Chains A and B, each alone.
Chain A
Amino acid sequence: MINLKDIMETVTMISHENLDIRTITMGISLLDCADSDIKKSCEKIYEKITRKAGRLVAVGEEIEKEYGIPIINKRISVTPVSMLAAVSAGNPVEYAKTLQRAAESTGVNFIGGYSALVQKGFAAGDRELIESIPEALAVTENVCASINIGSTKAGINMDAVRLAGEVIRKASQKTAERDCIGAAKIVVFCNAPEDNPFMAGAFHGVGEPDCVINVGVSGPGVVASALKKCKGDLGEVAEVIKRTAFKITRMGQLVGTEASKRLGVPFGIVDLSLAPTPAVGDSVAHILEEMGLSVCGAHGTTAALALLNDAVKKGGVMASSSVGGLSGAFIPVSEDAGMIAAARSGDLRIEKLEAMTAVCSVGLDMIVIPGDTPAEVISAIIADEAAIGMVNSKTTAVRVIPAIGKREGEELNFGGLLGEGPVMPVNLKSSPKKFIERGGRIPAPLQSLKN
């Protein structure tokens, strides 16, 4: 019989430490749905998504019940819609509405892929799609958008960076009466992964198979409580995190292979991630504090996060047949109870978060900024993040929410997994306007010349 201690450990992880599978995401290629008539194209998309993902939610729930492990989200990612818009022309918002309809009939909670990849320049459909994002996110509930504006290979498309700043502001304005939720559903990437199961940045890359299952695990609470018992030095801390990450990831691998078997769809990757939620005991910030920082944001936070991120990967990589996506610790401010508290107390600032993004898996995520932040400042924030990603050959992203009509001290509340957060101060005294207006492309760095 399996060791009693092991059984109780797993049960405690689930019942007390918020261990869960954060998401099963089905990636679906829409390339065969492209049609020069936008109506026909939308019909084909709806038909394909509902055919492929019709049983996704039911199978997810079945596995949840059988293995006793909560699967929080069932989601869909699709081919970047700009490619379909390029073929059909017409108003891309029609695609967003179709994706929304498909999300409703399949019962998934998010569908990602209202996206454009423009790291080296705009192709047909790209600019139209990006400009339509604010409208698309305002008229839909469950559709997520993303833009890839840079990569280590291509450099940074500064025209797209400028456009992205404007798009984020507009998305916020259009949904100002709903706590600016529009901007919470856009991610601007550098080095976007093509198999990421996490929202809002998931899309189904063109190199991916027709249909695939990707899994994102979670479990900051499990790591934090394992560390509570660890009194040793940082070498031992890393060991404890590695061991815990291994167990969490094995569970993700099991659920992923089982889902792929039951759905008859190939298994893609496990995203080795520590994804927090606003729930108590599910915070990445609390792990850093458990390591010995009085509060997340103190000096030392970047080093602690670097240790955490590396140990999560080392532990996880052996536990999975195939690792991908973002893989690492997430630091979304409004989705993490510890980060929210640190932002409220002023201990955690955007400058510190920017430094942290150099050593973890994502970027400036779910940060509420003052409503009067000009578009060029948002663009400059994106450019800074993209530069970190480009030079370090890693994914970085920006998801900031300008809180229209609000300033420092006030808060936005998105509800659910997106959480809530205070407006964080941004440097508005100085202006990057001229720099952003120059446009053009920041050339790819020397690191790109690996061949």
Chain B
Amino acid sequence: MKKTVITIIGKDNFGIIAAASAICAECNVNIMDITQSVLDDMFVMVMLADISKANCSFGEFSDKMREFGGKSALDVRVMHEDIFNSMHRI
């Protein structure tokens, strides 16, 4: 299973998670876990998703997500989970 971590940070607004989930669905990316909070009007979301059955390449999926971030003035990052595992686990 190839997993990715998607983070979205920015000003809170309607439908951020809906839009992000729609992109996942469109690309056949399965959301496995999701957590979000709003602190002082600041929206923070972290999503763990399985991309092993995705119908597009990692790069294309990441581009779509970032395009959505750009349009909505949100900082969207799509990162392979290995980077977190290697940095924070021994």
Contacts and interface: CB of A to CB of B under 8 A. Distances in A.
A1 B33 contact: yes
A69 B62 CA distance: 13
A68 B79 contact: yes
19 contacts: A1-B32, A1-B33, A1-B35, A2-B5, A2-B48, A2-B85, A4-B35, A6-B88, A7-B5, A8-B46, A10-B83, A65-B58, A66-B62, A67-B82, A69-B79, A250-B86, A250-B87, A251-B86, A254-B86
A117 B85 CA distance: 41
Contacts of B80: 66-68
Interface in A1-48: 1-4, 6-11, 14-15
A247 B90 CA distance: 10
Contact of A10 (B48, B78, B84): B84
Nearest to A61: B59
B79 A67 contact: yes
Given A2-B5, A7-B7, A250-B87, A66 B35 contact: no
- A-B pairs, 5 with minimum CB distance: A68-B79, A6-B88, A254-B86, A250-B86, A1-B33
Contact of A2 (B9, B75, B78, B84): B84
Nearest to A1: B33
Contacts of B5: 2, 7
Contacts of A1: 32-33, 35, 48
A253 interface: yes
B67 interface: no
Given A1-B33, A67-B79, A11 B88 contact: no
B74 to A, nearest CB: 12
Nearest to A65: B59
A410 interface: no
Contacts of B59: 62, 65-66
A65 B62 CA distance: 8
Given A7-B5, A67-B79, A67-B80, 17 more contacts: A2-B5, A4-B46, A7-B46, A10-B83, A10-B87, A11-B79, A65-B58, A66-B58, A66-B62, A66-B80, A67-B82, A68-B79, A68-B83, A247-B87, A251-B83, A251-B86, A253-B86
A65 B83 CA distance: 12
Interface of B: 5, 7, 9, 32-33, 35, 44, 46, 48, 58-59, 62, 75, 77-88
B5 to A, nearest CB: 6
A27 to B, nearest CB: 23
B86 A69 contact: no
A427 to B, nearest CB: 46
Interface residues of A, number: 23
A247 to B, nearest CB: 5
Interface of A: 1-4, 6-11, 14-15, 62, 65-69, 247, 250-251, 253-254
A251 B87 contact: yes
A307 B77 CA distance: 35
A247 B83 CA distance: 10
A254 B79 CA distance: 13
Contacts of A253: 86
A129 to B, nearest CB: 41
B86 A7 contact: no
Nearest to A15: B75
Contacts of A254: 82-83, 86
Contacts of B88: 2-3, 6, 9-10, 247
Most buried by B among A65, A69, A251: A65
A66 B35 CA distance: 22
B9 A11 contact: yes
Contacts of A68: 62, 77-80, 83
Contact of B83 (A3, A4, A69): A69
Contacts of B81: 2
Most buried by A among B5, B80, B86: B86
Nearest to A254: B86
